[in-house]
Amino acid sequence: MSDSSRGCAIVTGGARGIGAAVAAVLAKEQIGVVIADLLDRDGSALAEALGSNVTFRHLDVTDEKNWLAVISDAEAVFGSPRILVNNAGILDFGSVETETPMMFRHVLDVNLYGPWLGMHHVASRMRVAGGGVIVNISSTAGLTGYAGLGAYVASKWGLRGLTKTAALELGNDNIRVCSVHPGPIHTPMTAGMTDSVAATQPMPRFGEPEEVAAMVRFIAMEATFSTGSEFVLDGGATAGQVLALSSES
């Protein structure tokens, strides 16, 4: 069992991919870790494998009552949440014309409304506990547009903006809020993508979940003067866009 005085970390979408890697790296710290996901079997197995300071709770991030139950359980087992990693997300392919209204709304519900619900309910607990860190997993799709990914891009730009607003509102309470912007990462979500997606990057490869997890740990544990900040892990994919903008100014 973890030291309850240090509170706990809640990792959404923590059963596999980036979330699982984040849960694993945070489990090495002296805090409790709550893996929160819809994937009960995968999440429970991972929690058992990571040790006694890790537990699994079922979470639909779009369900407010579900959020309240998970936060309450986390507090009962480990103490106040001091780290929230909003990682759960979905991807849907479709142009502005072809994507259905139902799917567009569903992507925004999971990728944007879900993180908002988490921050909405965790902030007060963190304030009472003396502070905390919220890390929102956005994407390079929160920095630029991608054809055929309108809902996903909209959700990740929204999460980027929400991160900055929350940082402004919560800074005086010693609550830091940052966003992480991965490029292509080897996860179940990108399983159907070929390596050619990354071929034109300065570092022409996919990233690994553990590389994103290392950044999340750095933000949570070491980047103590960073809030409202964007941390990009994309193999240099967006560097050319930044340079192009600079050359025009």
Enumerate the active-site residues. 152
| b/e sequence 122-139, b meaning 16+ C-beta within 10 Å | bbebbbebeebbbbbbbb
DSSP 16-61: SHHHHHHHHHHHTSSSEEEEEES-HHHHHHHHHHH-TTEEEEE--T
Would you give the DSSP letter of residue 203? Answer: S
**Residues in contact with 237: Cβ distance below 8 Å, sequence separation at least 6, in sequence order:** 140, 183, 198, 200, 201, 202
User: What is the number of helices (H) and of strands (E) in the chain?
Assistant: 8, 7
